[in-house]
Amino acid sequence: AKDYELRQYETAKWVSTVIRGETQKEAMRQGFWKLLHYIQGKNDKEMKIDMTVPVTCLVKSGSADFKISFFVPFEHQDSPPQPTDSDVFVEERKAAAIFVRSFGGFASPDKYAEEAEGLAKILRNRGQPFHEDFFYTTGYDSPFKLFNRHNEVWYFKK
């Protein structure tokens, strides 16, 4: 469709952390730093790992917990180094069909929520079944990139 796309993602490993009881913006900041330390060598192999995109944040309705994640690079998917920070973990996300809405600019939590609501409305209007109780925010750009930024919101198809 012109206002969203349906993508099929394969099973893959992500390194994640859950930040509790903070605003989404503060959770993203704290989570990003924890995950950055992991890829800079705070893992059982003391291995530096390339930064990947997107950076995702799981937003659940009515919850003050946010799960921030980095995609584990393809060369480490089979055996990613284990985190040494007890707040950081490697998880396997199962293959899924995901409804995606893309947008530009600098994305704030309010902008992500607005885009997610817009996508949810379109999906409901078109009779597309999806998990409405959570969505992911995704960012693809360094904070230093000023133009042609790419962000997305994801809803999982039922």
Q: Express each pLDDT in 127-144 by its tens digit.
A: 999 999 999 999 999 888
Q: pLDDT band at 29, cuts 50/70/90?
A: very high
* Contact yes or no for 55/32 (Cβ under 8 A): yes
**pLDDT at residue 94 greater than cutoff 90:** yes
Give the residues across from 16 on adjacent strands. Answer: 69, 89
Instruction: Confirm if 81 and 44 have CB atoms less than 8 A apart.
Output: yes
Could you give the C-alpha distances from 139 to 57, 69, 78, in angstroms and in order? 9, 11, 25
User: Which residues are within 8 A (CB) of 51 and not within 5 positions of it... i.e. 6 or more apart?
Assistant: 36, 39, 70
Tens-digit pLDDT profile for residues 30-83: 999 999 999 999 999 999 999 999 999 999 999 999 999 999 999 999 999 999
Residue 143: the pLDDT is: 83
Q: For residue 66, give both structure tokens.
A: 């946010």
Burial call 101-127: b when 16+ CB within 10 Å, e when fewer: bebeeebebeebeebbeebbeebeeee
Q: Name every residue whose Cβ is closer than 8 Å to that of residue 65 and which is 6 or more positions away in sequence.
A: 18, 19, 20, 21
Fill in the amino acid letter for 5: E
Domains of the chain with bracketed CATH: 5-156 (3.20.80.10)
What is the value of pTM for the model shown?
A: 0.96
Contact 83, 43 (CB under 8 A): yes
